[in-house]
């Protein structure tokens, strides 16, 4: 794989990671509720899901997914259901972010990792991204080193981007300004996640 081809792959991965959606909402939620470490754990668990999709594409399973509308539809509805589940939980939150922090009861790291991983694995847009764009680069790199770069690039870009988001949102100055609006943040994040779930269903 030439450097220019890798730069093209890098730019596509950066644009894909920066596009707002359910992943951003989940990373933001855990960064605010649990702090920087929770946000970072969510970010890299999400990146593992991205790397998993990249690896599947590399193995040629993207072709199988493309040829199986039933499987793709199942992934789509499963992703929508998980988004709705997260949204309902956020709406039912009683104490809000501030109360959780004050009580010393942040979300467990295991839950942060679970949400980060699941929101990427059950995101049909992520599958479509690799099917439509990423698979083009697989054919350009047949050597083992090239294939390793193809998998590592989207994984690292995604993890680093959401880590940056987690650091910004967990900054003490930013956090202090958001604490008094904690319940509003919970409600808004819940509404956003549910709307995203509905949009996924409508677009099936």
The angle, 0 to 180 degrees and rounded to 10, between the axes of the packed helices 172-179 and 182-202 is 90
How many domains, the chain? 1
DSSP strands (E only) in 90-201: none
What confidence score (pLDDT) does residue 131 get? Answer: 66
What confidence score (pLDDT) does residue 194 get? Answer: 85
- Could you tell me the residue range of the domain that residue 64 belongs to? 3-9+22-202
Please state the rounded mean pLDDT for residues 66-89. Answer: 79
Alpha-carbon span 50 to 47, nearest angstrom: 5
* Better-predicted residue by pLDDT, 2 or 158: 158
What confidence score (pLDDT) does residue 102 get? Answer: 47
- For residue 104, tell me if it sits in a domain: yes
Alpha-carbon span 171 to 167, nearest angstrom: 6
- For residue 44, tell me if it sits in a domain: yes
| Cβ atoms 37, 167 nearer than 8 A | no
What confidence score (pLDDT) does residue 56 get? Answer: 81
- For residue 147, tell me if it sits in a domain: yes
130-171, pLDDT tens digit by residue? Answer: 766 665 666 665 677 877 888 899 999 999 999 999 998 888
What confidence score (pLDDT) does residue 117 get? Answer: 94
- For residue 118, tell me if it sits in a domain: yes
- For residue 105, tell me if it sits in a domain: yes
Alpha-carbon span 110 to 34, nearest angstrom: 12
Provide φ and ψ at 182, rounded to 5°: -60, -50
For residue 37, CA distances in Å to 92, 109, 159 come to: 24, 8, 13
Query: Of the ranges 2-11, 44-53, 96-105, 115-124, which is most confident?
Result: 44-53
- For residue 17, tell me if it sits in a domain: no
9-66, pLDDT tens digit by residue? Answer: 888 788 778 876 788 888 988 888 788 899 999 999 999 999 988 888 777 765 666 6
- For residue 187, tell me if it sits in a domain: yes
- For residue 52, tell me if it sits in a domain: yes
């Amino acid at each position: 794989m030439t450097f220019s081809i890798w730069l093209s792959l890098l730019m596509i991965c950066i644009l894909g990671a920066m596009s707002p959606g359910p992943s951003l909402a989940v990373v933001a939620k855990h960064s605010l509720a649990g702090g920087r470490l929770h946000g970072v754990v969510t970010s890299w668990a999400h990146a593992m899901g991205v790397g998993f999709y990249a690896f599947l594409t590399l193995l040629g399973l993207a072709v199988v997914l493309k040829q199986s509308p039933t499987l793709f539809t199942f992934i789509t509805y499963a992703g929508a259901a998980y988004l709705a589940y997260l949204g309902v939980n956020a709406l039912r939150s009683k104490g809000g972010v501030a109360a959780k922090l004050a009580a010393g009861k942040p979300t467990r790291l295991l839950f942060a990792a679970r949400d980060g991983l699941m929101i990427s694995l059950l995101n049909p847009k992520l599958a479509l991204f690799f099917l439509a764009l990423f698979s083009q680069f697989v054919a350009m790199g047949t050597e083992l080193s090239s294939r390793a770069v193809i998998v590592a690039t989207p994984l690292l870009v995604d993890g680093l981007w959401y880590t940056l988001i987690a650091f910004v949102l967990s900054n003490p100055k930013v956090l202090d300004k958001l604490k008094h609006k904690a319940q509003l943040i919970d409600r808004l994040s819940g509404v956003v996640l549910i709307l995203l779930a509905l949009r996924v269903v409508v677009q099936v």
